[in-house]
């Protein structure tokens, strides 16, 4: 879904809709707090690192999880990614294979699986056990910050530095999955994405941004850009920085299930304007294979201002987990 406008209003002026939805938000927040009080169903024999969000929508969580998988691989820590497989039909636990479709395992797991073995499971505890069977030396959870089923050794909250916490209200009155106070209290670290001025107020905050690798330069290529992610405008901006000339854009809801009619309309416009279609890697894997012909993709990666700080964060968590076991 596309976030409503009042979610992004200043906290001091949340608007009438936020106030009207306050009773529902109170119920939602109570349910989340109650669930988080449950004890973990399992404590794996290996470290568990969770990368999650405090808000609904795209903050850059999966690129951060991929960056962490790559750092852990470089450390020879044998990471395995764990995702619930949002948007996929399979309940799991299932090891994500290259021939899986996003309709089966979700789009984000397909991206994670390019960098490390990846398990999808609606039941996080069962998924963690499958990670151990797959030989995990460390489990990296993509999402699950508000899920207490698996005990965590390092909980990281990814926050967009431009949108912050929006109006600060809990869903559906605002974009928060839980109150900022509760979420930040459980977070061992915050990764602030982008160059915005928002300050989450957490003592251990690392900065990062999404960048396209130099090899992805579009060098003046005319494109019709489309994206169905949390904040499509971020992709369009990144595409322009990579050198593309954007002649039209199509913004779809996050995790949009593309149909043939969507592509026919965009291909017709691209042909009329002498352009190519361009989209995100996440959108590309969500397209049915028969509709992918000729579509350009722009890869992005999370780049940290201080990579040594990220390494220190990970090494500290691994050391604490091993000393406690």
- pLDDT tens for each residue of 27-85: 999 999 999 999 999 999 999 999 999 999 778 899 999 999 999 999 999 999 999 99
Predicted confidence at residue 215, as pLDDT, reads: 58
The CATH number given to 36-210+303-324 is: 3.40.50.300
- The pLDDT, as a whole number, for residue 65 is 96
**Residues linked to residue 224 through DSSP beta bridges, in sequence order:** 248, 277
The rounded percent of the chain whose pLDDT value lies above 70 is 98
pLDDT in tens, 203-233: 999 999 988 876 566 888 899 999 998 888 8
Architecture of domain 214-299: 3-Layer(aba) Sandwich (3.40)
Q: What is the average pLDDT value for the chain, to the nearest integer?
A: 92
Instruction: Kindly give, in sequence order, each residue whose CB lies less than 8 Å from that of residue 208, ignoring residues fewer than 6 positions away.
Output: 60, 64, 67, 191, 192, 193, 302, 303, 304, 305
Annotated domain spans of the chain: 36-210+303-324, 214-299
Lowest-confidence segment of 104-113, 119-128, 213-222, 253-262 by average pLDDT: 213-222
- Is 214-299 the same fold as 36-210+303-324? yes
Structure tokens at 179: 């109150």
DSSP string for 141-209:
EES-TT--SB--SEEEEEEETTTTTTT-PBTTSSSBSS-HHHHHHH-SEEEEESS-------SSEEEEE
């Amino acid at each position: 879904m596309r976030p409503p406008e009042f979610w992004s209003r200043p906290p001091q002026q949340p608007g009438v809709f936020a106030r009207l939805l306050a009773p529902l938000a109170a119920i939602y927040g109570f349910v989340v707090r109650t669930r988080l009080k449950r004890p973990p169903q399992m404590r794996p024999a290996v470290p568990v690192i969770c990368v999650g969000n405090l808000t609904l929508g795209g903050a850059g969580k999966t690129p951060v999880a991929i960056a962490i998988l790559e750092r852990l691989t470089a450390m020879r820590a044998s990471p395995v990614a764990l995702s619930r497989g949002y948007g996929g039909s399979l309940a799991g636990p299932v090891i994500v294979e290259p021939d899986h479709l996003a309709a089966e395992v979700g789009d984000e797991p397909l991206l994670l699986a390019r960098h490390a073995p990846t398990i999808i499971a609606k039941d996080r505890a069962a998924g963690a056990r499958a990670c151990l069977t797959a030989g995990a030396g460390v489990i990296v959870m993509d999402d699950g910050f508000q899920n207490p089923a698996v005990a965590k050794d390092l909980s990281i909250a990814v926050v967009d530095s431009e949108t912050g916490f929006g109006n600060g209200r809990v869903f559906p009155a605002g974009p928060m999955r839980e109150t900022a106070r509760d979420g930040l209290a459980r977070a061992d670290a915050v990764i602030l994405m982008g160059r915005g001025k928002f300050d989450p107020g957490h003592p251990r905050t690392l900065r990062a941004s999404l960048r396209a690798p130099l090899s992805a330069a579009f060098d003046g290529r005319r494109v019709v850009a489309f994206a169905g992610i949390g904040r499509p405008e971020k992709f369009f901006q990144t595409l322009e920085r990579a050198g593309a000339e954007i002649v039209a854009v199509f913004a779809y809801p996050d995790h949009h299930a593309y149909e043939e009619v969507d592509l026919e309309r965009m291909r017709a416009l691209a042909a009329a304007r002498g352009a190519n279609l361009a989209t995100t890697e996440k959108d590309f894997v969500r397209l049915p294979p028969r509709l992918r012909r000729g579509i350009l993709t722009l890869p992005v990666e999370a780049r940290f201002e201080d990579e040594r700080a990220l390494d220190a964060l990970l090494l500290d968590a691994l050391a604490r987990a091993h000393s406690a076991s």
